[in-house]
């Protein structure tokens, strides 16, 4: 596998890479397999992407499925149509937007996550500033974020869940912390449940909440 870099304005038609870096505006029209993918600008991909590690410090639009072992975020990732995201680890800050599912072992995000569902083992999403982060306000203002809420997720399911400033229809897990400014319609908890006084929670199944 080779190394390849897009600097300035450029495009590729998929391929296999050891290191693929985008420093500027890049476009991809094919499937990508890469050990390392770095985005420090604007990237648009119409194929499926399978990577060992992804570092995103810009804005990336994926029109195919995205798989990686590790994703380090300091930007915005938009998964278009029904594109799915699968990863072992997602860490950092920024925004992930998808209308489909996110399957991850561990995620620790400061910023916003909008998805149909998130399934994993350890999920931590922190959207600060009274449920609407300063970062998210900026993204929404420049139309890079599709939702007006801090984070909107229909279903969050994991063994350990910690959320702040998140709207969810259902949260399902063992040990759950519903932090400040969350809105959750239903919580199904098999272990311990903590609910912050500013959070709004509807139906609770399987546990008695503590502050």
Compute φ and ψ for 15, nearest 5 degrees. 130, 180
Sequence-distant (≥ 6) Cβ neighbours of residue 137 within 8 angstroms: none
List, for residues 99-148, the tens digit of each pLDDT value: 999 999 999 999 999 999 999 999 999 986 544 444 545 554 444 444 44
pTM: 0.87
SS3 category, 184: strand
> Helix, strand, or coil here: 133?
coil
- Paired with 125 in beta bridges are 109, 163
Query: How do residues 31-71 score in pLDDT, each as one tens digit?
Result: 999 999 999 999 999 999 999 999 999 999 999 999 999 99
Asked whether the beta carbons of 33 and 48 are under 8 A apart, the reply is: no
**Total count of residues recorded for the chain:** 211
């Amino acid at each position: 596998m080779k190394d390849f870099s897009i600097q300035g304005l450029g495009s590729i038609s998929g391929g296999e890479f050891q290191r693929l870096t985008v420093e500027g505006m890049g476009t991809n029209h094919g499937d990508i397999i890469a050990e390392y993918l770095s985005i420090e600008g604007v990237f648009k991909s119409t194929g499926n992407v399978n990577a060992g590690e992804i570092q995103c410090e810009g804005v990336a639009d994926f029109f195919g499925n995205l798989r990686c072992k590790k994703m380090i975020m300091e930007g915005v990732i938009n998964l278009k149509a029904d594109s799915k995201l699968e990863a072992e680890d997602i860490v950092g800050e920024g925004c992930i937007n998808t209308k489909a599912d996110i399957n991850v072992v561990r995620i620790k995000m400061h910023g916003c996550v909008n998805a149909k569902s998130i399934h994993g083992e350890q999920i931590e999403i922190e959207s600060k500033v009274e449920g609407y982060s300063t970062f998210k306000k900026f993204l929404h203002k420049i139309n890079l974020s599709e939702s007006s809420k801090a984070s909107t997720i229909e279903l969050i399911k994991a063994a350990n869940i910690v959320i702040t400033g998140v709207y969810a229809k259902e949260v399902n897990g063992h040990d759950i912390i519903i932090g400040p400014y969350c809105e959750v319609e239903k919580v199904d908890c098999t272990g311990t449940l903590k609910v912050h006084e500013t959070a709004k929670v509807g139906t609770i199944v399987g546990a008695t909440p503590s502050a």
